[in-house]
Amino acid sequence: MKSYFPKDFLWGGAIAANQTEGAWNEDGKGMSVADVAQYRPDLDPKDYASQWHVSPDQIRAAMASTDTTYYPKRHGIDFYHHYKADLALLKGMGLKCLRVSIAWTRLFPKGTEQAPNPKGVQYYHDLFAEMKRDGIEPLVTLSHYEMPLYLVNHYDGWVSRQVVTMFVRFATVCFQEYAQDVHYWLTFNEIDSALRHPFATVGVVEEKYANAHDVKQAIYQALHHQFVASALATKALHDINPQDKIGCMMTKTLAYPLTANPDDQVLAQAYNRNNYFYADVQVRGAYPQYMLNYFEEQHIAIAMAPGDTELLRRYTVDFVSFSYYMSVVKTKDETDMAQVGGNLTTSVKNPYLQTSDWGWQIDPVGLRVALIDIYDRYQKPVFIVENGIGAHDTLTDGQVHDPYRIQYFADHFKQVNLAIKQGVDVMGYTTWGCIDLISAATSQMSKRYGFVYVDLDDLGQGSNRRYLKDSYYWYRDVIKSNGVSL
């Protein structure tokens, strides 16, 4: 294929601390929201809402328990102890970039401490040094569904303004400590998912509020605090090293109208606009009027401190990153229409698309549409920091044949190539879960995304050995040829 990928394109992979590291209570680490996430075999894995819904009773029970079987993010794939060998495998694939997150609770176990835990600080020094030796550029998320549980229980999470100060302290320590090794940062993973799963993202426990309106009010207040924290983190990073880059991160879920009925177009447009709200604030530096109108209509009043507007305006992000897994369809009357599941959402079925094992609509062309749309809206470099297919893989005689994954990525990479040809400035592409890990929404191990297979099942049983899938060799060739082999 004729490749338009730039020479320095960051071909990569992505993981998150809470889904891989394990060692949940080692070396002074505090509990995070991820340590409360339960694997619930009694629930339909497609029903994301119930998996992520955590009541105060469930939090108390989780805190009293040392179980790891049904709290699988506590063991992850034991990356904490295996990272050197795992990085060697990723290096073997030719990976140029690895997106990881720093677990806030390794550095600040409760979140309230004034100084970081030295062992936590050291772990990430070791990790980044190893990545450097392997020639793998780190892209680091500061907050990937892993806020300290203490802040949920004692501060109502991000609803409290005090959490801004604590987060900025954490972020500043990271920028200072890892200034030599890390040059690309992300603030909040899928910041827009606060409305879909408020516990994991902004630490809002819905039962604490009287009604749905109050929950929404709390979430938008929490989001405002994250916007301010994002601005302050951007300022802090650029004060420390003006060359380093920081991005926002959104879940890009593209909506199409089901029919040519203009009413369907209005619905799809509203959905897409709403999806952009968060980046509108972080990139353009102000709340868009459509959201201010919405808040007024919904009687949502956001408390802002003097100077917030100026902070948001001055400290906007350097690039726009996003996860992309699927598109959705909007239509006026959805009654009786076939539905499919999705990345923390559901949708009317698109008759032109296939779905994954978990019912997510596979739409490579939508990735091109999304890239062009995002770039035209913001005129900032874009970075695809998550994309991939969760599938059931089978390990036989040490081998995993995964032609569906190869097909999936080939189709998506080709669309990125076309977007670049059409002028979009794409910095890189870190495929989600380049090594198998625990699923964010369902806490399953059997929902696999990796090029490297990890021999563990949903109950954490297995050898924990790593095996290279067919897609590993395929991706290696893609990277080596900078897309020409596609």
Nearer to ligand BGP by C-beta: 420 or 441? 441
Footprint on residues 49-78 left by ligand BGP (CB under 6 A)? none
Which range, of 125-133, 286-294, 432-440, 469-477, touches ligand BGP by CB under 6 A? 432-440
Integer Cα distance of 404 and 107 in angstroms: 39
CB 429 within 8 A of CB 12: yes
Residue type, 118: P
Note the maximum CA span of the chain: 64
Asked if 30 is part of the footprint of ligand BGP (rule: CB under 6 A), the reply reads no
Nearer to ligand BGP by C-beta: 217 or 361? 361
Asked if 278 is part of the footprint of ligand BGP (rule: CB under 6 A), the reply reads no
Q: Shortest gap between Cβ of 343 and ligand BGP (angstroms)?
A: 5
Beta bridge partners of 347: 340
Among 4, 13, 16, 409, binds ligand BGP (CB under 6 A): 16
Asked if 190 is part of the footprint of ligand BGP (rule: CB under 6 A), the reply reads yes
Among 104, 175, 432, 467, binds ligand BGP (CB under 6 A): 432
- Our answer to whether residue 386 is catalytic in this structure is yes
CB 206 within 8 A of CB 39: no
Q: Shortest gap between Cβ of 35 and ligand BGP (angstroms)?
A: 15
Among 74, 224, 245, 447, binds ligand BGP (CB under 6 A): 447
Asked if 468 is part of the footprint of ligand BGP (rule: CB under 6 A), the reply reads no
Which range, of 162-170, 366-374, 397-405, 436-444, touches ligand BGP by CB under 6 A? 436-444
The total of other beta-carbon atoms located within 10 Å of residue 41's CB is 12
Asked if 445 is part of the footprint of ligand BGP (rule: CB under 6 A), the reply reads no
Site string for ligand BGP, 343-382 (x = CB under 6 A): x---------------------------------------
Among 109, 341, 390, 483, binds ligand BGP (CB under 6 A): 390
Chain positions contacting ligand BGP, by CB under 6 A:
16, 189-190, 323, 343, 386, 390, 432, 439-442, 447
Catalytic machinery residues: 386
